Structure 1
Amino acid sequence: MNLVSIRIITANTESLVKFYEQITGITAIQYTPDFAELKTSTTTLAIGSTRTLQFFGGESVAQAAQNRSAIIEFLVDDVDQEFDRLKNVLSPYIVQEPTTMPWGNKSMLFRDPDGNLVNFFAPITKESVEKFATKQE
């Protein structure tokens, strides 16, 4: 088994696609106005509009901007550099400025425009670096 994609359901696809393109530097593949994907070497972040829920059984299946339990995580080379690059864009969304976590990663947390938590992190201890050595692009 292999995790290949995480999908965010949103009421504003265009805004969320632009946000993730800006923070990741990845150009989304926009298949339709209601569905786009940002592909990395290890997984895909899909963004679908609430209109796509009709294919899965209707709007009761998922609700846009209601996540309070999942964190979308991106492995980056340098958290401080990403923070400096994005701090003006992210200032209303910052939850945690770059912080060293007890498990050996430096992390910054922010919310996307729908309120989903996003973590940019980089391993900084020897153990953490070794753990993620095969996962970096």
Structure 2
Amino acid sequence: MQLVSIRLITDDVRRMAEFYQLVTGVEPDWATPDFVEIVTPAGTLAIGSTRTVALFAAGSARAADNHTAIIEFLVPDVDAEYRRLRAAVTDFVNEPTTMPWGNRSLLLRDPDGNLVNLFTPVTEAAIARFSVR
């Protein structure tokens, strides 16, 4: 089995695509006005309109209602990313902080309130853990 993508459901696909383009630097790949993908070397972040939910099962997903997941991006220098994003992003949960498991982490929220973690492994163990992925 292979994890292909994580999909976010939103009422405003364009706003979310613009946010993730800013954060990742990746040009969105638009399939339709209701569906776009941010394709990275490690996986894809898909963004779908609430209009697409009925294709699966009406009511099976709700926009801006996530309180359990964190979307994580490995970055070369989390402090540099924080400096870059400060002028454009307003909803930071924390400033870059070194976590007990060895990652330097920056939490922010996307336009729908989903948590986004940008992180850089900084301890020897964390660097080793991510060097094989």
TM bracket, shorter-chain basis:
over 0.9
CA contact (8 A) 1:21 1:28 kept: yes
> Under a length normalisation based on structure 2, what TM-score does the superposition of the two structures give?
0.98
Unaligned runs of 5+ in 1: none
Letter in 2 for 1:11: D
- Aligned residue for 2:46, secondary structure, equals strand
What is the rounded CA distance, in whole Å, between the counterparts of 1:87 and 1:37 in structure 2?
A: 24
What is the rounded CA distance, in whole Å, between the counterparts of 1:51 and 1:14 in structure 2?
A: 14
- Total equivalences in the alignment: 133
What is the rounded CA distance, in whole Å, between the counterparts of 2:2 and 2:11 in structure 1?
A: 28
Match of 2:16 in 1: 16
Letter in 2 for 1:102: P
Unaligned runs of 5+ in 2: none
What is the rounded CA distance, in whole Å, between the counterparts of 2:112 and 2:28 in structure 1?
A: 18
- Aligned residue for 1:89, secondary structure, equals coil
Match of 1:88 in 2: 87
- Aligned residue for 1:26, secondary structure, equals coil
* % identical equivalent positions: 53
Match of 1:79 in 2: 78
Match of 1:40 in 2: 40
What is the rounded CA distance, in whole Å, between the counterparts of 1:89 and 1:23 in structure 2?
A: 10
Alignment counterpart, residue 119 of structure 1, candidates 109, 117, 120: 117
What is the rounded CA distance, in whole Å, between the counterparts of 1:78 and 1:121 in structure 2?
A: 8
> Under a length normalisation based on structure 1, what TM-score does the superposition of the two structures give?
0.95
Q: For each residue in 1:17-48, what CA deviation from the matched residue of structure 2 results, as whole angstroms up to 9, or x when unmatched?
A: 01100111000100000000011111100000
Letter in 2 for 1:28: P
> How well do the aligned residues superpose, as a CA RMSD in angstroms?
0.7
Shift of 1:134: 2.8
What is the rounded CA distance, in whole Å, between the counterparts of 2:45 and 2:92 in structure 1?
A: 20
CA contact (8 A) 1:79 1:121 kept: yes
Structure 1 consecutive aligned stretches of length 4 or more whose deviation exceeds 4 Å: none
Letter in 1 for 2:81: E
